[in-house]
């Protein structure tokens, strides 16, 4: 017999957590932009809780993600 592992509500909660976490990492660029290593011509900040990277570039005071 197959057992359902996750409900649609838990999937939504996981997606919300992922987006909140990623946006928090992007918001942190306001304090830490420019200190990360450069890869492929962009700065690369590694996400704190998920195996993803945020690539961005600086144009004066503007941070382009």
Beta bridge partner(s), residue 63: 58
User: Would you state the pLDDT for residue 34?
Assistant: 96
Tokens encoding 4: 């359902």
Tokens encoding 12: 């939504």
User: Would you state the pLDDT for residue 10?
Assistant: 78
What predicted TM-score, i.e. pTM, was given to this entire model? Answer: 0.77
User: Would you state the pLDDT for residue 27?
Assistant: 97
CB 41 within 8 A of CB 57: yes
Better pLDDT: 6 or 21: 21
Q: Tell me: the pLDDT tens digits for 7-53?
A: 666 778 888 999 999 999 999 999 999 999 999 999 999 999 999 99
Residue 19 zone, left/alpha/beta (φ > 0; ψ -120 to 50; rest): alpha
User: Would you state the pLDDT for residue 47?
Assistant: 95
Residue 48: DSSP 8-state: S
């Amino acid at each position: 017999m197959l057992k359902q592992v996750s409900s649609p509500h838990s999937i939504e909660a996981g997606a919300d957590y992922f987006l909140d976490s990623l946006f928090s990492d992007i918001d942190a660029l306001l304090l830490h932009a420019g200190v990360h290593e450069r890869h492929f011509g962009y700065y690369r900040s590694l996400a704190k809780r998920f195996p993803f990277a945020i690539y961005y570039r600086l144009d004066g005071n503007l941070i382009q993600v």
